[in-house]
């Protein structure tokens, strides 16, 4: 059927390939076939560019509108959406920026993008029910040792050489953090997660991020105890108190 070839050529041309528009589209005295195809290409790119500026507003401010639009259009051609869920689009932008020669002068750009993506992800992930931790005592010691904990489904961990969280804050309307006062080139361990309608960002100590990484990797309590020895009980209670750990389940 003609449709298969048509859709193949169209999708290719929306994302960078050439197309012989005259093969498919009628021209008239108003617009040529090529111009008519261009309306659709412009519309596809327009929606996706808008999506990127909605997800990455701080990056856009850092590089300026023109550069951002330019880099977006290259990104869209190299990473076209493959999911029917619109919220999935744009996840490789940080990697793309990291390898984009013309953006290398703004060395913290890729990590800023990563932070903005984690915030977007937190917004579009499930706000799941919390486990009832008061029941922990009902389990035998053996059961407890096999227990695994979980971060909220909205949570992500970020390790970066730049204070991108401060940078992000400074770019918010009405922020009292001044860009000139940020010590940007300092290592940052960060947890990003959502509680109801609010996205939280929390700087973590090295020990805390190691602990939450181990939790995220589904490490059972017995192994957490071996790894974190005398620090375990404090790490666990801080995590529970702050909602960094949201649920538990008995091991397999």
Cα–Cα distance measured from residue 61 to residue 84, given in angstroms and rounded to the nearest whole number: 29
Minimal distance in Å, beta carbon 55 to another protein?
14
- Please report, as ranges, the residues that interact with another protein according to CB under 8 A: 1-4, 6-8, 10-11, 14-15, 23-26, 28, 30-31, 33, 35-37, 39-40, 43-44, 47-48, 80-87, 89, 123-128, 153, 197
Closer CB to another protein, 37 or 162, in the complex: 37
Distances in Å between the alpha carbon of 82 and those of 36, 90, 238?
Answer: 24, 10, 39
Minimal distance in Å, beta carbon 89 to another protein?
8
| 3-class DSSP state of 240 | helix
Closer CB to another protein, 1 or 252, in the complex: 1
Q: Is 113 exposed, middle or buried (0-12, 13-18, 19+ CB in 10 A)?
A: buried
Minimal distance in Å, beta carbon 225 to another protein?
31
Closer CB to another protein, 80 or 146, in the complex: 80
Minimal distance in Å, beta carbon 72 to another protein?
14
User: How open is the CA angle 137-141-147, to the nearest 5 degrees?
Assistant: 80
Closer CB to another protein, 91 or 146, in the complex: 91
Cα–Cα distance measured from residue 167 to residue 114, given in angstroms and rounded to the nearest whole number: 13
Q: Are 224 and 232 spatial neighbours (Cβ–Cβ below 8 Å)?
A: yes
């Amino acid at each position: 059927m003609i449709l298969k070839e048509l859709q193949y050529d169209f999708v290719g041309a929306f994302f960078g390939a050439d197309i012989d528009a005259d093969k498919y589209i009628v021209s008239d005295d108003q617009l040529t076939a090529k111009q008519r195809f261009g309306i659709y290409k412009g519309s596809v790119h327009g929606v996706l560019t808008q999506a990127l500026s909605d997800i990455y507003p701080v990056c856009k401010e850092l590089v300026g509108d023109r550069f951002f639009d330019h880099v977006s259009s290259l990104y869209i051609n190299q990473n076209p959406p493959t999911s029917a869920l619109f919220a999935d689009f744009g996840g490789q932008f940080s990697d793309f920026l990291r390898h984009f020669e013309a953006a290398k002068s703004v060395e913290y750009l890729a990590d800023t993008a990563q932070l903005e993506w984690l915030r977007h992800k937190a917004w579009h992930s499930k706000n799941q029910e919390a486990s009832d931790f008061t029941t922990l005592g009902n389990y035998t010691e053996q059961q407890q040792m096999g227990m695994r904990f979980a971060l909220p489904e909205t949570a992500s961990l970020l390790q970066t050489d730049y204070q991108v969280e401060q940078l992000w804050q400074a770019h918010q309307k009405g922020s009292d953090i001044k860009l000139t006062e940020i010590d940007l080139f300092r290592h940052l361990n960060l947890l990003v997660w959502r509680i109801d309608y609010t996205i939280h960002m929390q700087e973590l100590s090295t020990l805390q991020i190691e602990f939450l990484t181990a939790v995220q990797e589904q490490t059972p309590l017995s192994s957490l105890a071996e790894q974190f020895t005398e620090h375990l009980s404090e790490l666990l209670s801080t995590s529970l108190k702050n909602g960094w750990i949201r649920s538990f389940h008995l091991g397999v």
